Amino acid sequence: MIIISACLVGVNCKYSGGNNDNEKVKEFLKDKEFIIICPEQLGGLATPRNPSEINYIDGSEVLNGNSKVITWENIDVTDNFVNGAKESLKIAQMYNCKQALLKESSPSCGCNFIYDGSFTGNKVCGMGVTAALFKENNIEVFSEKEL
């Protein structure tokens, strides 16, 4: 069983209220069992919602308590992101998922890159909060860009 970012298969859970529907992802999943999650919704955030970025290093540092997730209006949504990651992990473990296919660059789901916290569109190497928690729990994470 693979756990997937819901926005990649057309669910309108993105911060803007839209999705990141991806034909490559759907082709990849054709013969596979999968379950979908949106960590930000699972963490109690509304859709649509204000965009957020990690303000120091990446999701691993958020989990360690050294970094925060902040909206562009400077609201601290760290607890929502951490709770959403924990709920996502609970579901992944419930369904014995060994792999996670997650949306690149998201502050929750990014596997290799995230935005740098400046809300200027700059990206840096690093993982989102849920991707980092999955990796810490031995779930292989990869993004739609790696298909």
Q: Does 45 bind ligand SF4 (CB under 6 A)?
A: no
From residue 73 to residue 112, what is the string marking binding to ligand SF4 with x (rule CB under 6 A)?
A: ------------------------------x--x-xx---
Phi first, then psi, for residue 4 (nearest 5°) are -130, 145
Q: Does 58 bind ligand SF4 (CB under 6 A)?
A: no
Q: Does 59 bind ligand SF4 (CB under 6 A)?
A: no
The Cα–Cα gap between 84 and 62 comes to 13
C-beta of 40 vs 116, nearer to ligand SF4? 40
Query: Strands (DSSP E) along the chain, which ranges?
Result: 2-5, 34-37, 52-54, 69-71, 99-102, 113-115, 123-125, 140-143
C-beta of 57 vs 114, nearer to ligand SF4? 114
Q: Does 6 bind ligand SF4 (CB under 6 A)?
A: yes
Q: Does 68 bind ligand SF4 (CB under 6 A)?
A: no
Q: CB of 109 within 8 A of CB of 41?
A: no
User: Least separation, in Å, of the C-beta of 3 and ligand SF4?
Assistant: 10
The Cα–Cα gap between 94 and 81 comes to 20
Whether omega before 48 lies within 30 degrees of 0, making that bond cis, reads yes
Please name which of 93, 117, 97 lies closest in space to residue 107, comparing C-alpha atoms. 117
Q: Does 14 bind ligand SF4 (CB under 6 A)?
A: yes
Please report which residue ranges of the chain form alpha helices under DSSP H: 23-29, 39-42, 59-63, 78-94, 129-136
C-beta of 18 vs 61, nearer to ligand SF4? 18
The count of chain residues that interact with ligand SF4, using the rule CB under 6 A, is: 12
Enumerate binding residues for ligand SF4 (CB under 6 A): 5-7, 13-14, 38-40, 103, 106, 108-109
